[in-house]
């Protein structure tokens, strides 16, 4: 190991900074919440939804159009008579979607940058303003999937999984909420 050298080619902050630069170039004000956000995925989703609502209702802490960016690695604590399929990014997004309650003009993506969210074959998922209505039209109740920690099955049924395959890199999770109100 004395002759081994390691080189960092990317960091979590760099991934968020590049995303912020791209958003700004497209006319969206970027807001980076941090690159090391931790906690229960469903709770982090609720907090992010609160920030998104504050933006759409009051133009704070930034005005729209904007993109809220964050990184880090959340956790999922499986409890009760569970468990379904899914990782922390899809659980974050399902919680976010439920907390947003179909808020118009808000889209989001959450993915593990290594291409694998938990134990499944997806990197994460995306949500649209109408994903809860889409699920309801399919006879699905989003809260039931969240209660069972079965976010993968929810997003698979709604066609919202992001599947990249292994990326051979890892700069934590990447979350972006686009608000175009």
Distance CA 73, CA 16 (A): 14
Cβ within 8 Å of residue 111, ≥6 positions away? 89, 117, 123, 124, 125, 162, 164, 173, 174
Of residues 108 and 115, the one with the higher pLDDT is: 108
What's the number of CA atoms in the CB half-sphere (13 Å) around residue 105? 11
Contact by Cβ (8 Å): 137, 89: no
- Give the HSE-up count for residue 99: Cα atoms under 13 Å, Cβ half-sphere: 21
The tokens describing 10, both together, are 């990317």
80 pLDDT tier (thresholds 50, 70, 90): low
- What percent of the chain is modeled with pLDDT above 90? 75
How does the average pLDDT of the chain come out, rounded? 93
Please state the rounded mean pLDDT for residues 2-24: 89
- pLDDT tens-digit readout, 27-59: 999 999 999 999 999 999 999 999 999 999 999
At 114 the pLDDT is 86
Residue 36 in contact with residue 69, Cβ under 8 Å? no
Q: What is the CATH number of domain 12-179?
A: 3.40.1480.10
pLDDT at 22 over 70: yes
Domain layout of the chain by residue ranges: 12-179
pLDDT-based confidence at residue 118 (cuts at 50, 70, 90)? confident
């Amino acid at each position: 190991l004395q002759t081994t050298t390691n080189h960092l080619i990317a960091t979590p902050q760099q991934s968020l900074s590049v995303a912020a630069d791209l958003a700004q170039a497209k006319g969206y004000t970027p807001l980076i919440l941090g690159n090391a956000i931790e906690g229960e995925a469903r709770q982090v989703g609720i907090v992010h939804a609160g920030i998104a609502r504050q933006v759409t209702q009051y133009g704070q802490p930034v005005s729209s159009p904007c993109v809220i960016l964050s990184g880090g690695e959340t956790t999922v604590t499986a409890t009760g008579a569970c468990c379904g399929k899914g990782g922390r990014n899809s659980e974050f997004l399902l919680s976010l979607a439920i907390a947003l309650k179909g808020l118009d003009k808000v889209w989001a993506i959450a993915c593990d940058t290594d291409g694998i969210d938990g134990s499944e074959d997806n990197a994460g998922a995306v949500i649209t303003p109408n994903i809860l209505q889409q699920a309801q039209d399919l006879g699905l109740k989003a809260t039931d999937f969240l209660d069972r920690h079965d976010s993968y099955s929810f997003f698979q049924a709604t066609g919202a999984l992001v599947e990249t395959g292994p990326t051979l890199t890892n700069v934590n999770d990447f979350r972006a909420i686009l608000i175009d109100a």
